[in-house]
Structure 1
Amino acid sequence: MTRDIIINGKFLRAPMTGVHRVAFEISNALADLAEQQAPELGGRRFEVWHSHDGRGRADTIRLPTRDVGPLENILWEQMTLPARQGQPVLLNLCNIGPMASANALTMVHDAQVLLSPKSYSLGFRLWYMSVQRVLARRNRALLTVSEFSRQQIAKTGLAPLDRIHAIHNGVDHVLRVKPDEAVLARLSLKGTNYALALSTVQEHKNIGVLLKAFARAELSGMKLVLFGSAGRETFAAEGHAIPPNVIFAGHVTDGELRTLMQHACALLFPSTTEGFGLPPLEAMLLGTPAICAPCGALPEVCGEAALYADPHDAAAWAAVLSSLARDTDRRASFGTLGRTRAAQFTWRNAARRLLDILDLVEPSRPHSR
């Protein structure tokens, strides 16, 4: 018997973020399983529903898609989607979903709005916390992206542990991206020793510790390349002192980012909390060592294949990075360790884990395996 499952396609209307990446990649991994008629599907048929403003990217999804009207944005998700859902299970992969839908599962990626409230506006926090409380009470189950997030979500009282299920992200999407080497010339990085990090002023991302590290003498001969939306003026407005060896790359394409990762001495990730942490694994899969804070899900995800530094100690970051830069054998060793570790995280495995969870929470369906 075929059982339809609807995937909430609101991610098709927005620029790609880490959260949207998960929805996109799991959807296409399910499409691959469907094309191969994998027995794990157990007769399920997935379809991505989206609003009118998402149809421009609908062809990037290999599952069947459906343009469902009327309305757009939050109103579409909270009103149109549950009104049109009918009997199928609804799968929300981007933190929130329609509060009116009980026959649903929602992936809550992390508990960051509670763990790091200063990283978000008051309105955003209140909206997410209100919606997620309703979903936790009404949905069949919650999903998340790591055991760390599962434990943290349970500690907030959102839902008990036995109703929260972890699905590790994949990272193999980075291998499909064609490198764009022109970015090295554009940023004057050819022949330059540099480290790479995300450019954001969100408190929990903790980029300030890197700015302090690169102001130290031991890193004076290395550059810090920050990619992302926050520019020099944004950091200065937040009171950060910016050393001269920091380069703000701005928004980069996937191809440019792959090139920047491949040529970097290391990917730096000093987050004080993290639900999963895709960038370190992406870099590791490309053979670039990752230096992380030993916080959140980062030790769970990166294991002993990454290096670690105290998130509050700029001197520690400078010491670990400068030592790595001097030791080519150590860089090569961590490059190999990283590739091996990151190769375990595939979107096919994530899709299969999702199917296992659906077997558990759909009581009317016999287990397919």
Structure 2
Amino acid sequence: MFSFGTQQFYEINCQAVKDGSVAFDLPKDVGQKWVRSYFGRNPILPLIFRFLNQGTARKNRDNWLRHAAHLKPVAIDNGIFLSAARPKLIVDMVRALLGRKSSVTFVPLLHDFMPLHDGATKRFRKIDRNFLADNRFLIEYASQILTNSRFTAKELGSFVEKGMLPKPSGPVDVVQLVHHCPDGTETSEISVPSEPYLLTVALNLGRKNIEVVLEALRLLKADGKPVPMLAIAGTYRKRLRRYASRPVFSDIQDRLIFIDNPNQTDLVKLYKQALALVMPSKLEGWGLPAGEALWCGTPAICSTAEALQEVCGELGLYFEPDDAPHLASTIHHLMTDHEFQIDLRNRIQNSKKTLRTWNMVAHETLQALKTSQ
């Protein structure tokens, strides 16, 4: 475990659980707050950021010593350091290792490059300069790079060709993520709709493109066709709720159900009982909800984003991300053609043995590391 307060790694005990997972003895209430750097063109702002963050660094250290002082520091002097954390978090870890003259072989697992697409992450921002700087740093010091999909590997090559990212000095290997969706251990806290419903998970406006789903439902209503309920599961987003409450959607607002931060038990229940998951993203690095839906035996209606086709293959139903009429037609077909629906669910169930598990990810990761040595 890495402490941002002390800039050191610590040993964590773990034990096997009956369900085959591993439980880690993590300290509680440590309160470590990540400190953002500034990589813009203004030469004064980095100094201001450093000054303002001095208090945060002290609080991080004090909180760590108060709640985790019993942990044993670990000197990582050699071997392979593999991290699948977000780039901005890995940077501090690598800097700490470099500062201690560690000879460790550093391997990051990169998930996506969405913030490098114009306007893909923040309104009015062309690209995320902090994200760009973090990835440049990681690629420069990495001995090997893993990506979570063939699409992400392709994106890496594209941004290298454009000169935005440095050329990796070592191999780039693909280790696709999972479809596996484990059952939760928490007590259920919600009731699922009693009538057919579509499910979205972690969707938002913009790149995640929930706009097209709302428009498809509006078109169904306008055409006098049955409109399923839409369960919108994920983080509470005020801007999304304001968008959904627009007068243009007044005829379907009674079909919308917002489910804030469902626990794993409820998420699995939502997946299993849904008519289908809808994932309309314009860009994804992998598309975990689509894979989880298939694992639960539920159809996935996805945009033609390359990564989503990599996740779902022949089991997915696809539409162009801006084609609301096509999405509406697909929803209507799934709702009204019960033979088609049953056949699709049977194909998904019969293909479950081919879906990816975390065990596969672990073995392929180890194999990729061994091959490059």
Return the TM-score normalized by structure 1. 0.72
Partner residue of 2:278 out of 259, 268, 278: 268
The reply on whether 1:196 has 2:199 as its aligned counterpart is yes
Partner residue of 1:224 out of 212, 216, 230: 230
Contact 1:154 1:161 in 2 (8 A): no
**CA-atom RMSD in angstroms:** 3.8
Alpha-carbon distance between aligned partners in 2 of 1:229 and 1:360, rounded to the nearest angstrom:
40
Alpha-carbon distance between aligned partners in 1 of 2:245 and 2:15, rounded to the nearest angstrom:
42
Shift of 1:283: 1.0
Partner residue of 2:136 out of 133, 138, 141: 133
Q: Which has the larger radius of gyration?
A: 2
The reply on whether 1:327 has 2:327 as its aligned counterpart is no
Alpha-carbon distance between aligned partners in 2 of 1:180 and 1:281, rounded to the nearest angstrom:
24
Paired AA for residue 368 in structure 2: I
Contact 2:315 2:347 in 1 (8 A): yes
Name the structure 1 match of 2:359: 348
Larger relative CO (CA 8 A, sep 6+): 1 or 2?
A: 1
Alpha-carbon distance between aligned partners in 1 of 2:132 and 2:126, rounded to the nearest angstrom:
10
Alpha-carbon distance between aligned partners in 2 of 1:331 and 1:57, rounded to the nearest angstrom:
44
Q: Secondary structure at the match of 2:232?
A: strand
Alpha-carbon distance between aligned partners in 2 of 1:305 and 1:247, rounded to the nearest angstrom:
27
The reply on whether 1:94 has 2:85 as its aligned counterpart is yes
Q: Deviations 1:314-367 (Å, cap 9, x if unpaired)?
A: 1111100110111122112222222344542011111011111111233xxxxx
Shift of 1:230: 3.6
The number of equivalent residue pairs is: 307
Contact 1:107 1:144 in 2 (8 A): yes
Name the structure 2 match of 1:317: 327
Change (3 A) 1:281 1:163: same
Contact 2:140 2:168 in 1 (8 A): no
Name the structure 2 match of 1:252: 262
Percent identity among equivalent residues? Answer: 21
Shift of 1:150: 0.6
The reply on whether 1:361 has 2:372 as its aligned counterpart is yes
Shift of 1:262: 0.9
Is the helix fraction higher in 1 or 2?
1
Change (3 A) 1:153 1:63: farther
Q: Secondary structure at the match of 1:319?
A: helix
Alpha-carbon distance between aligned partners in 2 of 1:195 and 1:209, rounded to the nearest angstrom:
13
Contact 1:281 1:338 in 2 (8 A): no
Return the TM-score normalized by structure 2. 0.71
The runs of 5 or more residues in structure 1 that have no matched partner are: 1-7, 11-48, 363-369
Change (3 A) 1:66 1:91: farther
Name the structure 1 match of 2:184: 177
Contact 1:293 1:308 in 2 (8 A): yes
Change (3 A) 1:135 1:160: closer
After alignment, is 138-147 or 243-252 more displaced? Answer: 243-252
Change (3 A) 1:330 1:358: same
Alpha-carbon distance between aligned partners in 2 of 1:56 and 1:85, rounded to the nearest angstrom:
17
Alpha-carbon distance between aligned partners in 1 of 2:331 and 2:116, rounded to the nearest angstrom:
31
Q: Deviations 1:54-79 (Å, cap 9, x if unpaired)?
A: x8999997387787xx9944469x99
The reply on whether 1:62 has 2:22 as its aligned counterpart is yes
Contact 1:271 1:311 in 2 (8 A): yes
The reply on whether 1:156 has 2:159 as its aligned counterpart is yes
Contact 2:280 2:303 in 1 (8 A): yes
The runs of 5 or more residues in structure 2 that have no matched partner are: 4-8, 37-56, 62-72, 99-103
Alpha-carbon distance between aligned partners in 2 of 1:325 and 1:110, rounded to the nearest angstrom:
34
Counterparts of 1:5-20 in structure 2, within 5 Å, are none
Shift of 1:111: 1.1
Alpha-carbon distance between aligned partners in 2 of 1:117 and 1:279, rounded to the nearest angstrom:
23
Paired AA for residue 340 in structure 2: R
Paired AA for residue 145 in structure 1: N
Q: Secondary structure at the match of 2:145?
A: strand
Q: Deviations 1:23-75 (Å, cap 9, x if unpaired)?
A: xxxxxxxxxxxxxxxxxxxxxxxxxx569xxx8999997387787xx994446
